[in-house]
Amino acid sequence: MLLVLLGWGVGATVLLYVLYSWLIPTAVQFNGSLALLWHDVIVERALDTLTRSTRPQRLLKAVQKHATRGDPQSVISAIDHFCRHSEWAMNIGDEKGSILDSVVSEVNPEKVLELGTYCGYSTVRIARLLPPGARLITLEFNADYAAIARQVIIWAGLEDKVQLVEGASEDWIPRMKEHFGIETFDFVFLDHWKDRYLPDTKLMEDCGLLRKGTVLLADNVICPGVPDYLAYVRNSLSYKSCYFKSHLEYTKAEDGLEKSVFLG
């Protein structure tokens, strides 16, 4: 009887391992909603409970263990490896990250605003490509995320180019000119709360932070999606927009980036 129970226990353990590590992740690869539910809710909560740590904390440990201090590319590579082989995280990811790199290199901005820092992955991607003297202001609402992002940015050696600000975007956008001396931004990367894409874009317009030629690049426009934002920038005479088809970070589910040039 004991051997039977032991056999059942081993079999159940093997089955759970196969489900967790291979079958379910493979099954959700092509469905963005299921991928987000599995990785960003079920797995994250389970690992937080089991490890008594948070995903951002685990990501930071991977950076400190595998990335070379002062080398932004090694930080990016360490995070990508962590997200593909250890634990999914909601960074822009390597595939869409290459699109971000191309747009930043094309614009060559001196004044950049990032809405949504999370753990600093896209911040590092952007900041490493900026010309000397350029300035990147990144806003993060979650104080715990901001604390991790600061350490990631410092590990990459980019703290002189980046100013991380904690707080809500709707509170800080109207204060940009007064508090930071920013007249207009050359490039804005939107990757925060999806329901804030449109109101924050309109708020930047109202505050005069966009000049003719300012480039807005929005992530996750398909998954989870921002239909109100897309309708606005694609139909407004104030923008010229194009869509870069890609995939949700570290999956095969469709997602993409929307590039919108402000025409004034």
The mean per-residue pLDDT over the stretch 196-211 comes to: 98
Give the strands of the sheet with 111-115, arranged side by side.
Answer: 162-166, 135-140, 111-115, 185-190, 210-218, 254-262, 239-247
What distance in Å separates the CA atoms of residue 122 and residue 176, rounded to the nearest whole number? 21
Annotated binding site for substrate: 194, 220, 249
Average pLDDT, the chain: 91
> 220: Cβ–Cβ under 8 A, 6 or more apart, which residues?
191, 194, 226, 248, 255
Confidence bin at 4 (pLDDT 50/70/90): very low
Residue partners of 186: CB distance under 8 A and separation at least 6: 107, 109, 110, 111, 112, 211, 213, 214, 215
The answer to whether 79 and 97 are in contact (CB under 8 A) is: no
13-18 long-range contacts, CB within 8 A, separation 24+: none
Q: What local confidence, expressed as pLDDT, does residue 31 receive? A: 82
- Find out whether 260 and 247 touch, Cβ atoms under 8 Å: no
Mean pLDDT on 179-204: 97
- What is the per-residue pLDDT across 96-130, written as a single tens digit (0 to 9) for each? 999 999 999 999 999 999 999 999 999 999 999 99
Q: What is the set of active-site residues? A: 191, 194, 219-220, 249
Q: What is the pLDDT of residue 27?
A: 64
Binding-site annotation: residue ranges:
122, 140, 191, 194, 219-220, 249
198-223: average pLDDT? 98
pLDDT at 1: 55
Is 50 exceeded by the pLDDT of residue 60? yes
**DSSP labels for 123-179?**
HHHHHTTSPTT-EEEEEES-HHHHHHHHHHHHHHT-TTTEEEEES-HHHHGGGIIII
pLDDT in tens, 147-188: 999 999 999 999 999 999 999 999 999 999 999 999 999 999
Confidence of residue 15 (pLDDT cuts 50, 70, 90): very low
Confidence of residue 2 (pLDDT cuts 50, 70, 90): low
Each residue's pLDDT tens digit, 27-44: 667 887 888 888 888 889
Residue 117: HSE in the Cβ half-sphere, 13 Å Cα cutoff:
33
HEC readout, 116-128: CCCCCHHHHHHHC
Q: Which of 200, 258, 254, 250 is nearest to 90 (CA)?
A: 250
Return the pLDDT at 84: 94
Task: Detail the residues annotated as belonging to a binding site for S-adenosyl-L-methionine.
Answer: 122, 140, 191
What's residue 29's pLDDT?
78
